[in-house]
Amino acid sequence: MKRSNSHLISILLLILFQSESVAHTKSVSYSTWNIQEDQIILNFTVSSREITKLREYQINYPNLNDSLKSHLIQKIHSDQIKSEPLINVLNTEIGMTGLSLIFDTNQFEKYIFDMNIFFEEIPSHIHYARINHHMGQMRTLVLNQNNHEIIIFSELNAVEEQEWFDSFKQYIGLGFTHILEGIDHLLFLLALLILCKSFKSLVFAATGFTIGHSLTLGLAASDIVIPQVNIIESLIGWTIILASIESINLPRHELRKIQSGVLLIVIAMILLSALNINELKIGFILGLGMLTLAILKLGEEPDQAEKLRPILAIIFGTIHGFGFANILSEISLDRTNFLISLLGFNIGVEIGQILVLVIMWSLMSFLATKILSNNIKKITGLVSSILCSIGLYWFLTRLMG
């Protein structure tokens, strides 16, 4: 009874005190480069919130366009281009600010632009640059604090010679960065780690997760399946809930109470959907409810659940795969080298995932054997309860957002 009360307290506290520190947001900016015969047109957009962090904003307050303009003039330059660019204001969606910079070019075969934007003020900032050549070639680059140069070739053949391997490396870095910065994916891996009782079990579960997310990542990136972003983001929170509930190892009668609660929620959501009060489809609600009840029922038989965990990991992986695909949809996957870029992104995700699991497993094994051997079950139970509360918070806020 005391254990259940401690779990309940931790869940309530986490729900009450959630903040933006666990939100699925990060500092990013975007640019599109249109390479013409005698001009380079740069369209730059960034969240207006990011501009308020700049020194120039304190000078030009509250003018966002002037602040961004004076900042970019200082931070974007090329030794091959001496004249100042022509700058126009872009029409952007609410919450974004954008400028168009037009550079006149001359006889150079290669132009190197230093894009040292926002990285000094926000070291974790990421910039996605899409380059469109007038002869038909397109590629996407990912810039960060350590790599913020863009090389543009006048001739298309020069781009093609170096482009496929360049895209491969860029997308490996993008996948690796995404898994390390995706706090929701990391928390699911932590719940999976607590759930698995042996390293062999963890390897099987991680393999199933990889199969699942690789499949749906490919489908979504190929535009064969186009998922609804808020639904996928909320379902990622739901996977954390299910994995953490199983890892808490509740008694059978407690699991049955949760099953009854889920059944009531499903019925209520179906009624709301039938009355057009929410936008969720009845098929989706039924599918989610049946999957949840099946997993909770399986939790009553630990040995059977252990055998079927790789299959469950595949199911959870398919959901996270759509989540990985969302970042690619934001920047438009490099269609010139589609398979190479997709493979690079997937490899980057896997490298990051393996690194995280190895570190977590090593740390958990050390704590369990050297420091917290007598209390490890209580601690993992508390951590699982906290993970459950975070997953519940994300599920509700993202679904309603």
% of the chain surpassing 70 pLDDT: 84
What is the pLDDT at residue 133? 79
Give the confidence band of 330 by pLDDT, cuts at 50, 70, 90: low
What is the pLDDT at residue 331? 61
Distance CA 204, CA 193 (A): 11
Distance CA 350, CA 185 (A): 12
Q: Is residue 39 over pLDDT 80?
A: yes
Q: What is the DSSP letter of 249?
A: T
- Mean pLDDT along residues 159-181: 73
Q: Is residue 136 over pLDDT 60?
A: yes
What is the pLDDT at residue 372? 67
Distance CA 115, CA 210 (A): 34
pLDDT tens profile 226-253: 778 778 888 888 889 888 888 777 777 7
Strands 39-47 and 86-89, how do they pair? unpaired
Give the confidence band of 375 by pLDDT, cuts at 50, 70, 90: confident
What is the pLDDT at residue 307? 78
Indicate whether this model's pTM tops 0.75: no
pLDDT tens profile 249-304: 777 777 777 778 777 877 877 777 776 666 667 777 777 777 787 777 776 777 77
CA distance to 83, 151, 223, per residue, from 104 (Å): 8, 16, 36
% of the chain surpassing 90 pLDDT: 14
Instruction: Determine which of 57-61, 208-212, 291-295, 330-334 has the lowest per-residue pLDDT on average.
Output: 330-334
Distance CA 300, CA 302 (A): 6
In the three-class reduction of DSSP (H, G, I as helix; E, B as strand; rest coil), residue 6 is classed as helix
What is the pLDDT at residue 334? 61
- Mean pLDDT along residues 44-51: 93
State the alpha helices, DSSP H only, in 275-334.
282-298, 302-331
Distance CA 209, CA 350 (A): 10
- Mean pLDDT along residues 370-395: 80
In the three-class reduction of DSSP (H, G, I as helix; E, B as strand; rest coil), residue 103 is classed as strand
pLDDT tens profile 168-177: 877 888 788 8
| Gyration radius from the chain CA atoms | 24
Distance CA 268, CA 270 (A): 5
Other residues' Cβ atoms within 10 Å of the Cβ of residue 251 = 11
Q: Which range scores top for mean pLDDT: 89-98, 193-202, 246-255?
A: 89-98
Distance CA 185, CA 26 (A): 14
Distance CA 179, CA 99 (A): 30
How many Å is the maximal CA-CA distance in the chain?
78
